[in-house]
Copies of this chain bind each other. A is one copy, B any other.
Amino acid sequence: MKDNQVNVGIIGLGTVGTGVARILLEQKDLLTTRTGLTFKLSGIAELNWDIDRNLDLTGVNCYRDANQLLDDASIDIIIETIGGYEPAYTFVAKALKNRKHVVTANKALIATKGRELFKLAQEYGVDLMFEASVGGGIPIIKGLREGLVANKIQSMYGILNGTSNYILTRMYQEEMEFGQALQEAKAKGFAEADPTLDVGGGDAAHKLTILASIAASGFVDFNKLSVEGITKITKLDIKFAKDFGYVIKLLAVYREQPEGLDLRVHPTLVPNSHLLAAVSNELNAVFVKGDFVGSTMFYGPGAGERPTASAIVSDIVDLSRDLLLKEDRHLCNRTFNPENEVKVVPIEEISNRYYLRFFTLDEPGILSRIAGVLGEFNISIASMVQLETHEQEHYVPIVLLTHQAREKDMNDALAKIGKYDFVKDDYLRLRLF
């Protein structure tokens, strides 16, 4: 940095990259007023220059080859917005080795390659920032890392995937089936052509991995998380949950346990009275409990050009402080410690309350046999609904809410119940908040 000017380069001019360029151009004066620094959009690397993005790029170096941008010695900060693993990883690694600070929104990259990248950043004395990777425009990473720095994080519950939340909201409000709500989400641009990562829970798991790494001041192995999506949920389940006083949300769960961290992503019955139950449509929220602060919540848009760009630019501004530090200091990156692997407790050892839904033949004695198996595995029933009739011929739904039970016991009980001829295969087990 020279003369208080910070030179920024962007790799990838898709939705998010365009948003970042737009802020750097449109909010130039605002940023200078607030920071005393000038943020200059110096260069952009992009393969497709044929789209009209409604940006005035006069004076900006435009490249097709990202290496040209990465080799420009005047660039202070590189923004990676191409997403995915490659060539994103290669570009980010090269930027760090060229001693440039890096900002990315790439949750998959940070969640699965974070350890290597943070080691590189440490080695080369630069920072890697990723506010936009979780919760889009919501400053949740800053909130955790800095705002709640004085707290041991006891628990977090996040609605981190906008696509799933939109689908579940529509299923709840309009009594739609999953498939119909997914189609609507696609039509509205809230779901991609291949929605697997969103509705399967993988995206939320990437984000949970990142939040957990910060909260625990270490790094979490993404593969140790338990992940379950929302594809098996029917409108009947939404309706039953509603009758019991719950809303079903895809929750990312972080709970400090004596043996390590309880980390999982799965559809969860959230009580109507909880603030998270009011987080609807494509919006995101993270409910965080710290040992000093108590319960807090961060809420807002989890995706989109403008919110994501807002988060990236906040990282750029933070990095500009690093540029002013005495030699060999970089304070932003003070969590996500690549040397400290955090222990994750296997879900089998965790206890939860459960929602169970079976379709069974409408014959006498069936309920008592199911209850018998649950009892055999020390699972006690809190409430139960059995309906007389249902559209699926011959089969009637039975829904149970259990008291606290161990996941392992529940797995064993379900394996046994599932073998009965009178129980249809597509039974469902959900967990309560």
> Does B143 contact A143, Cβ atoms closer than 8 Å?
yes
Q: Which residue of B lies closest to A309 (CB)?
A: B292
Stretch at the interface among A256-264, A299-307, A354-362, A423-431: A299-307
Q: Once bound together, how far apart are the Cα atoms of A314 and B144, in whole Å?
A: 10
Q: Which residue of B lies closest to A289 (CB)?
A: B300
With A137-B294, A294-B307, A296-B137: A334-B35 Cβ-Cβ less than 8 Å:
yes
Chain A: interface residue total (CB-CB under 8 A): 57
Q: Which residue of B lies closest to A331 (CB)?
A: B321
**Of A35, A151, A326, which is in contact with the most chain B CB atoms at under 10 Å from its CB?**
A151
Chain B positions within 8 Å of A324 at CB level: 325-326, 329, 331
Interface of A is mostly: mixed
Q: Mark A18-36, 1 if CB is under 8 A from B, else 0.
A: 0100010001001101111
> Does A147 contact B142, Cβ atoms closer than 8 Å?
yes
Q: Once bound together, how far apart are the Cα atoms of A183 and B306, in whole Å?
A: 47
> Does B152 contact A148, Cβ atoms closer than 8 Å?
no
With A299-B297, A321-B321: A139-B146 Cβ-Cβ less than 8 Å:
yes
> Does A150 contact B27, Cβ atoms closer than 8 Å?
yes
> Does B152 contact A30, Cβ atoms closer than 8 Å?
yes
Interface assignment of A317: CB less than 8 Å from any CB of chain B: yes
Chain A stretch 1-44: residues in CB contact (< 8 A) with chain B: 19, 23, 27, 30-31, 33-36
Min CB distance, A315 to chain B, in Å? 10
Chain B positions within 8 Å of A150 at CB level: 23, 27, 30-31, 309-310, 313-314, 317
Chain A stretch 264-304: residues in CB contact (< 8 A) with chain B: 275, 278-279, 290, 292-301, 304
> Does B300 contact A146, Cβ atoms closer than 8 Å?
no
With A34-B149, A217-B34, A331-B324: A296-B142 Cβ-Cβ less than 8 Å:
no
* Number of copies of this kind of chain in the complex: 2
Interface assignment of A407: CB less than 8 Å from any CB of chain B: no
> Does B152 contact A147, Cβ atoms closer than 8 Å?
no
Q: Once bound together, how far apart are the Cα atoms of A19 and B152, in whole Å?
A: 15
Q: Which residue of B lies closest to A301 (CB)?
A: B294
> Does A292 contact B137, Cβ atoms closer than 8 Å?
yes
With A147-B314, A310-B151, A326-B325: A33-B292 Cβ-Cβ less than 8 Å:
no
Min CB distance, A77 to chain B, in Å? 14
Interface assignment of A318: CB less than 8 Å from any CB of chain B: yes
Chain B positions within 8 Å of A151 at CB level: 27, 310
Q: Mark A317-341, 1 if CB is under 8 A from B, else 0.
A: 1100100111001010011010000
Q: Once bound together, how far apart are the Cα atoms of A348 and B337, in whole Å?
A: 55
Interface assignment of A138: CB less than 8 Å from any CB of chain B: yes
> Does A34 contact B334, Cβ atoms closer than 8 Å?
yes
Min CB distance, A8 to chain B, in Å? 12
> Does A34 contact B310, Cβ atoms closer than 8 Å?
no
Chain B positions within 8 Å of A137 at CB level: 290, 292-294, 296
Chain A stretch 119-148: residues in CB contact (< 8 A) with chain B: 131, 137-139, 142-143, 145-148
Q: Once bound together, how far apart are the Cα atoms of A297 and B36, in whole Å?
A: 27
Would you give 6 A-B contacts (Cβ < 8 Å), ordered by A? A36-B331, A137-B294, A143-B143, A292-B310, A324-B325, A324-B331
Q: With A138-B147, A146-B314, A147-B314 given, can you name 18 additional A-B contacts, CB distance below 8 Å?
A: A33-B337, A34-B145, A35-B149, A35-B334, A36-B331, A137-B292, A139-B142, A142-B142, A146-B317, A148-B314, A149-B313, A149-B317, A275-B275, A292-B309, A298-B299, A324-B326, A325-B325, A326-B326
